[in-house]
């Protein structure tokens, strides 16, 4: 009897997105093939995930990318160790945690070093680290609030659930540090930490380092996750030169938004290649449509995206605009929208 082929996970050891899926696969006892990929150097990977991000799962003729989509796919396919509790409140908590990590921390934190690549060194390592830490701290504080009073072993109970699967890699990726607010002018003891009396300073065991660049380079050596300096000497030098360079102009920010929107829209166009149905995946409105329309709307109305480059998305947008529920949800139709 022929045995079904194992699912293949395209991933990378360091990637927190891959890490989440590996936890889910392991909990569910799925025997899978580990395929290490680097989207930047593997030209064929884009055929698996048109967005060229890791991670993606190939299960027979089904290919799913995006860690949340993959985890929900696994949840449906492999009933062992359910990751979403039946209880609605706990289920909602799990979905919130997963999505905060997936949408409100990781992609924003990734900006911290993506900008280095895009701008060829406009952010210094120190500034990048600050961007990363800002978004991790913001997300973690939100999750702390959501879990206030939590006394269970894991986030939402005494068994590991979806929230834990998404939390653990994010905690692993972030450097857990104690935040100590100081005012060098009024804090007499601070001089013992940094005789120059400048902030910041980092105390790590018996190592005390002051100067933000020195601290960043120390962190770069000690924590290999998310390297902030490229290996290539020229790009590395550019990054180091970029120190203290100013922030981006609105024009430059718009270019970055357009670049990522274009990347995403081109990938979705490829995913929907040959789509002749009324909506994205059939003749009834589904989850994909609910997520697509706001992005297309923002692209057209806020970020000057030329939709003629994406014929399928353009056609879907026209179809969405005929649906009263979509019309009613448009930003301009909301009570707090400014009157034009």
Ligand X SMILES: N[C@@H](CCC(=O)N[C@@H](CS)C(=O)NCC(=O)O)C(=O)O
CB of 66 to ligand X, least distance (A): 4
Strand partners, 56: 10, 65
Contact pick of 58, 67, 94, 216 for ligand X (by CB under 6 A)? 67
Estimate the crossing angle of helix 67-77 against helix 162-173, to 10 degrees.
150
- Rule CB under 6 A: say whether 15 interacts with ligand X: yes
Strand-pair category, 33-36 with 8-11:
parallel
Binding part of the chain for ligand X, among 66-74, 124-132, 231-239, 261-269 by CB under 6 A, reads 66-74
Q: Which is closer to ligand X, CB of 48 or CB of 209?
A: 48
10 near ligand X (CB under 6 A): no
- 108 vs 248 by CB, closer to ligand X: 108
Is the Cβ of residue 39 or residue 139 nearer to ligand X in the bound state?
39
| Minimum distance, C-beta of residue 235 to ligand X, in the bound complex (Å) | 15
Q: Is 169 left (phi over 0), alpha (psi -120 to 50) or beta?
A: alpha
Spatial contact of 72 and 57, defined as CB atoms under 8 Å apart: no
26 to 65: interface string for ligand X, x by CB under 6 A: -------------xx------------xxx----------
Q: Is 7 or 39 the residue whose CB approaches ligand X more closely?
A: 39
Query: Residue 8 CA to chain centroid, in angstroms?
Result: 22
Question: Of residues 98-117, which lie at the interface with ligand X (CB under 6 A)?
Answer: 102, 110
Region binding ligand X by CB under 6 A among candidate stretches 10-18, 142-150, 220-228, 256-264? 10-18
How many C-alpha atoms does 299 have within 13 Å on its Cβ side? 23
**66 contacts ligand X (rule: CB under 6 A):** yes
Instruction: Confirm if 236 and 230 have CB atoms less than 8 A apart.
Output: yes
Q: Judge whether 21 and 98 are in contact, CB under 8 Å.
A: no
- Strand ranges (DSSP E) for 83-229? 201-204, 207-210
Binding site for ligand X (CB under 6 A): 15-17, 39-40, 53-55, 66-68, 102, 110
């Amino acid at each position: 009897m022929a045995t079904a082929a194992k699912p293949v996970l395209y991933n990378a050891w360091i990637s927190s997105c891959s890490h989440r899926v590996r936890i889910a696969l392991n909990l569910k006892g799925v025997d899978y093939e580990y395929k290490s990929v680097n989207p930047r150097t593997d030209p064929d990977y884009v055929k698996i995930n048109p967005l060229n991000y890791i991670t993606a799962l190939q299960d027979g003729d089904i290919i799913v990318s995006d860690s949340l989509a993959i985890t929900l796919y696994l949840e449906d396919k492999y009933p062992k160790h359910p990751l979403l509790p039946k209880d609605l409140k706990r289920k909602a908590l799990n979905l919130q945690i997963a999505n905060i990590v997936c949408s409100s921390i990781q992609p924003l934190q990734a900006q911290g070093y993506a900008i280095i690549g895009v701008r060829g060194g406009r952010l210094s390592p120190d500034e990048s680290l600050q961007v990363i830490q800002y978004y991790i701290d913001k997300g973690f504080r939100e999750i702390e609030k959501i879990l206030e009073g939590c006394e269970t072993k894991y986030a939402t109970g005494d068994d590991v659930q979806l929230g834990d699967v998404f939390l653990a890699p994010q905690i692993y990726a972030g450097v857990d540090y104690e935040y100590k607010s100081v005012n060098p002018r009024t804090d007499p003891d601070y001089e013992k930490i940094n005789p120059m009396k400048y902030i910041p300073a980092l105390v790590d065991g018996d190592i005390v380092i002051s100067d933000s660049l020195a601290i960043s380079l120390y962190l770069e050596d000690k924590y290999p996750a998310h390297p902030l300096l490229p290996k290539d000497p020229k790009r590395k030098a550019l990054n180091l030169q970029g120190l203290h360079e100013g922030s981006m102009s609105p024009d430059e920010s718009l270019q970055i938004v357009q670049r990522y929107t274009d990347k995403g829209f081109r990938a979705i166009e490829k995913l929907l290649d040959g789509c002749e149905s009324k909506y994205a995946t059939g003749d009834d409105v589904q989850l994909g449509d609910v997520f697509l329309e706001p992005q297309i709307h923002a692209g057209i109305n806020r970020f000057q995206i030329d939709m003629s480059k994406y014929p399928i998305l353009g056609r879907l947008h026209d179809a969405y605009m005929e649906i009263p529920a979509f019309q009613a949800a448009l930003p301009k139709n909301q009570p707090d929208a400014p009157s034009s």
